[in-house]
Amino acid sequence: QKEVEQNSGPLSVPEGAIASLNCTYSDRGSQSFFWYRQYSGKSPELIMFIYSNGDKEDGRFTAQLNKASQYVSLLIRDSQPSDSATYLCAGMKSSGDKLTFGTGTRLAVRP
């Protein structure tokens, strides 16, 4: 079992809809989670991170963390075709530790 698991997708949503990207993790010791976006042929870039149970909002993006159920999600409101990319979830066991990445979920936003 991978430490961080994501559905590879593709997840297809219409423009303007909410895209929900999910990630589960196996190590209960994982403390913090990071979402990276990677456009095709490009390098990953950080969108946001979360380390407390609950929601964290940043513009159209909301990260959710549920430590009891061991899942993390990223919601993208008002999805745009420019949001079409692969979204990588990464976990960190303790502050200052290395990241473990999931395999990523490909999101396609239909105009």
Strand stretches in the chain, DSSP E:
4-5, 11-14, 19-25, 32-38, 45-50, 54-58, 61-66, 71-76, 85-92, 99-101, 105-110
HSE-CB at 102 with a 13 A cutoff on CA atoms is 30
**Interface with other proteins (CB under 8 A), residue from 17, 22, 51, 75:** 51
State the minimum distance, in angstroms, from the CB of residue 25 to other proteins: 13
Nearer to other proteins, 32 or 64 (CB): 32
State the minimum distance, in angstroms, from the CB of residue 42 to other proteins: 8
Region 86-105 residues binding other proteins, contact defined as CB under 8 A? 88, 90, 92, 95-99, 101-104
Question: Distance between CA atoms of 59 and 22, rounded to whole angstroms?
Answer: 19
Binding site for other proteins (CB under 8 A): 8, 32, 34, 36, 42-46, 49, 51, 88, 90, 92, 95-99, 101-104
